[in-house]
Amino acid sequence: MNELDVTGGASAAREWTQRTLGTGHDALALFEPDVILPDQFFTSCRRTAGIEPERLLMLAVLEEAVDSYRTCAFARDARSRQTFAEAHEWFESSDRSWLFAFESICDVLEIDANYIRGRLREWRVDASLRLRLTRVALLRPAFAPARVSGTGRRHHSS
């Protein structure tokens, strides 16, 4: 087997890597996602020297959409719920017909749109779970005293 056998899966990748590079390397580690905060991502994009104003504007639109999505995801007031719905719809759209569509912005900024969508979905599930756990913790009393039932003997009147 001269090439990496894609049908062999993870074990074939490990075998090929060990034969090619020796032990201590794992080819699948190359494909593990990096975990960074949105602020770190957007800051690194801004540092790029010579970035055109149009790209900076697109980056600002994307950053605002992520912020709106995260800020309004669990809102209770109608205006914030509407803001979240619009941001959610914008991210889920595959439309490329206008310059500031999500897919168009990702194309120009060379960002994988599906990766952003997946990370937003993961964040929403995690945040929803944390919110539910917080609500349960707030409803449960911090200290529940044990019931005192006396001596445990019944008194019968004769």
Q: Quick one: tokens of 27? A: 């080819």
**What is the average per-residue pLDDT within 133-157?**
61
Q: Is 158 contained in some domain?
A: no
Give the mean model confidence (pLDDT) for residues 92-98: 94
Model pTM?
Answer: 0.56
pLDDT at 44: 61
One domain for residues 27 and 45 = no
Residue 72 confidence (pLDDT) above 90: yes
Number of structural domains, the chain?
Answer: 2
**pLDDT at site 2:** 43
> Which among 71, 35, 68, 56 is positioned nearest to 105, based on CA atoms?
56
Check whether residue 14 and residue 49 sit in a common domain: no
Q: Is the pLDDT of residue 6 over 80?
A: no
pLDDT for 118 equals 94
CA distance 120 to 104: 18
- Which residues make Cβ contacts (< 8 Å) with residue 63, sequence separation at least 6? 38, 42
Between 154 and 120, where is the model more confident? 120
Tokens of 129: 């779970």
Nearest-angstrom CA–CA distance, 112 and 3: 27
User: What number of CA atoms fall less than 13 Å from residue 1's CA on the CB side?
Assistant: 13
Query: pLDDT higher for 83 or 44?
Result: 83
Are 74 and 110 found together in one domain? yes
12: containing domain = 7-35
The pLDDT score that the predictor gives to residue 27 is: 42
- Kindly state whether residue 156 falls inside one of the protein's structural domains: no
Express each pLDDT in 12-54 by its tens digit.
555 544 554 455 444 444 455 566 666 666 666 655 555 689 9
Same domain, 17 and 81: no
Residue 154 counted as domain residue: no
The region, left, alpha or beta by phi > 0 then psi within -120 to 50, assigned to residue 145 is beta
Q: Note whether 28 and 45 are same-domain residues.
A: no
Say if residue 58 is in the same domain as residue 70.
yes
On whether residue 61 sits in a domain, the answer given is: yes
Residues 103 and 31 in one domain: no
Asked if residues 25 and 33 have their Cβ atoms less than 8 Å apart, the reply is: no
